[in-house]
Chains A and B, each alone.
Chain A
Amino acid sequence: MPIKNILVPLAGGPPSLITAKYAIYVAKTMAAKLTVVYVVNENVLQELLKSRIFVEIEARVYDRDLEEQGRLFLERVKKMAESKGVEFEGVLLRGVVHDEVINKARQINADLLVMGELKELLSRKEVFCDEGERIFRESPCAVVVVKNPPEVERLYKEL
């Protein structure tokens, strides 16, 4: 089955760049379209407001900063993808991270989801609560979990 539609959820930061590079490598190799999703985690902001660690104005500032970071990050990955001749679409969403990612995968009929390395699980509870775990388990399509950053760097450079 040819892979034509790759979805990549990214949270920003250096580990996300490795995931992006691998996804660009796979998209280029398969001549697939790459859709990168960045979700502003409204859930965590609401939790912090509810627990009174944040005040309203502070939560609004964080919300704005997260959105701006997401926009800049998508712009950066777009340049990376385009420099390798990969068709790219960046999507900024808001809400609960795993819900938004899974909905997007369904909406675009993704046939591959590329995600960053899953974190070490500390408890059984995290199997059900961790956003990465939930995306991995609930994805409607095949999932690739990126590992071995030096090898990813090598593959990306050779493109």
Chain B
Amino acid sequence: MKISDYLRADCCIMDVKATSMEGAIREIVLVMGKAAKIADTDKFISDLLERERLGSTGIGNNVAIPHSPTDSIEGFAIAFGRSSTGIDFRSLDGENVNLIFLMGTNPQELNLYLKLLAKLSKLLIEQSFRRELLSAVNAQQVIDIFRKYEAE
């Protein structure tokens, strides 16, 4: 089970325009909605923001992983967004976020979702992984970086 099997080039935004956490989540979900099977993007956005209210998904090292199970998705979906200016996610370390991994799942796919979240958290420990994602020039390169690190 690989994240690179689920991450599609058309779900990678190399330059997120939004400057707020809510705006970034909305921007990424709207792009995701064109490629993934999301029946109700507004409901998904609302589920993600509800999760943020429990506690920030900005986990430090300029990374955020907004995530939520939701009935509005068929199966499992992941998107990547990169902000060059940085976004305030009220992160644990107080730093702005440049790398955003947004994940959603239908509740029926919980086991898969949890394993992929755990896998992503391990990949993100690697400073070189984060650095390469920050300097990737296009969406295909993002997927190639995932493939490379998932094979290690």
Contacts and interface: CB of A to CB of B under 8 A. Distances in A.
Contacts of A138: none
Contacts of B150: 122-123
Nearest to A52: B59
Interface in A16-61: 41, 44-45, 47-48, 51-53, 55, 57-58
Contact of A51 (B67, B107, B114, B121): B121
Contacts of B60: 52
B137 interface: no
29 contacts: A12-B111, A13-B108, A41-B114, A44-B114, A44-B115, A44-B118, A45-B114, A48-B114, A48-B117, A48-B118, A48-B121, A51-B59, A51-B118, A52-B59, A52-B60, A53-B57, A53-B59, A53-B65, A57-B54, A62-B110, A62-B114, A65-B110, A66-B110, A66-B111, A66-B114, A69-B111, A123-B150, A123-B151, A125-B152
Given A41-B114, A51-B59, A52-B59, 8 more contacts: A13-B111, A13-B112, A51-B118, A53-B57, A53-B59, A62-B114, A122-B150, A123-B150
A123 B57 CA distance: 29
A45 to B, nearest CB: 7
B121 A47 contact: yes
A5 to B, nearest CB: 26
A11 interface: yes
Count class of interface residues, chain A? 20 to 34
B2 interface: yes
Given A44-B118, A48-B117, A53-B67, A122 B2 contact: yes
A11 B2 contact: no
A119 interface: yes
A122 B151 contact: yes
Interface string A50-89: 0111010110001001100100000000000000000000
Given A58-B54, A119-B1, A122-B2, A53 B121 contact: yes
Nearest to A46: B118
Contacts of B59: 51-53
